[in-house]
Structure 1
Amino acid sequence: MEDSARQEKVRKYEEFVDKRLKPDLIHAISQRFFEQQQIFSDLRRNLKPREDSVTSIRTLVNLGSEYTCSRSVPDTQRIFVDIGFGFHVEFTWSEALNYIEKREEKIARQIEEYTRLIASIKAQIKLVCP
């Protein structure tokens, strides 16, 4: 009887690991913000050397449905930055660089937070399933 109770507990722990901890781990890993971090890093790297020296640029404009067209931007005093959820904000170059820096800091904090969460979930899995 004691052995069957122990086996039932083991089964429940394994079920908990499979149904709760493993999906939590997968979700935590998928929530990492490395892609966003790379996008803002690339944007900062592209804006920084051009901050004062560019007066006009040529760019590709997304028309939707994977269609783009090449356009000339005659006045580069202000640029639009995608801030998420389909919203774009008009910034000066220095404002854009400041915004990007703050977003990179926030993303770095989020990555650290999720890394700790992942480590915690892994520790719980090891505790339950030696």
Structure 2
Amino acid sequence: MAEEIQQKIARYETFVNEGLRKDLKDALDARDAIYNQISEYLKLAKDIEVIKDNGLTEMKTQVDLGSNFYVQAKIPDTKYIYVNVGFGFHAQLTLDEALTFITKKEAHLQGKAEKYTEKAAQIRAHIKIVLEAMAEIMKLNNTPSPRNLDI
């Protein structure tokens, strides 16, 4: 009987460590990736506001080509910018159109992030339930049964 209980506890531990904790990490990583996207869109919105507030018609900037490799770029006309709209596509938008798009995209991404936060909370709750069940099984296993008590 004790060996059977130990096997059940081992299965629960494996389920928690290899299943639920991995799922929790995946959900939190996905949420963090979405927060990084939101941060990039907010930076872009701030840059657009600077361009509009200062009336810049051309500008020099640094562009990341990837792997933190930057080059200087000259933008001859700031009327239009290219915005990543998803799935690897970029759209040419006016500054006002870009701000409108960013606002909508941010709201959409916030909704996705909230879903991952809810999923993570559910997984945490499942982990807690399984751990409490394991503790209860172990507690019951250590408690002597009534027929073994000396009166």
Q: Match of 1:51?
A: 52
Greater strand percent: which structure? 1
TM-score, length-scaled by structure 1: 0.86
Structure 1 residue 49, shift from structure 2 partner:
3.9
Aligned residues: 129
Q: Match of 2:135?
A: none
Runs of at least 5 residues in structure 2 that lack an aligned partner in the other structure: 133-151
Q: Match of 2:143?
A: none
Runs of at least 5 residues in structure 1 that lack an aligned partner in the other structure: none
Point out the structure with max Rg over C-alpha. 2
Q: Is the 8 A contact 1:60 1:70 kept in 2?
A: yes
Cα distance, 1:4–1:106 mapped onto 2, change above 3 Å: same
* Structure 2: distance between partners of 1:11 and 1:73: 62
AA at the equivalent of 1:127 = I
| 2:111 pairs with 1:109 | yes
Greater helix percent: which structure? 2
| 2:131 pairs with 1:129 | yes
* Structure 1: distance between partners of 2:71 and 2:6: 64
What is the identity percentage for the equivalent residue pairs of Structure 1 and Structure 2? 36
Q: Match of 2:27?
A: 28
AA at the equivalent of 2:18 = K
Q: Match of 1:88?
A: 90
Structure 1 residue 38, shift from structure 2 partner:
1.0
Q: Match of 1:120?
A: 122
Structure 1 residue 23, shift from structure 2 partner:
0.4
Cα distance, 1:84–1:126 mapped onto 2, change above 3 Å: same
Structure 1 residue 81, shift from structure 2 partner:
1.4
Q: Deviations over 1:54-99 (max 9, x none)?
A: 2111122445665433232221111111234543221111111111
Cα distance, 1:93–1:34 mapped onto 2, change above 3 Å: same
TM-score, length-scaled by structure 2: 0.75
* Structure 2: distance between partners of 1:36 and 1:64: 16
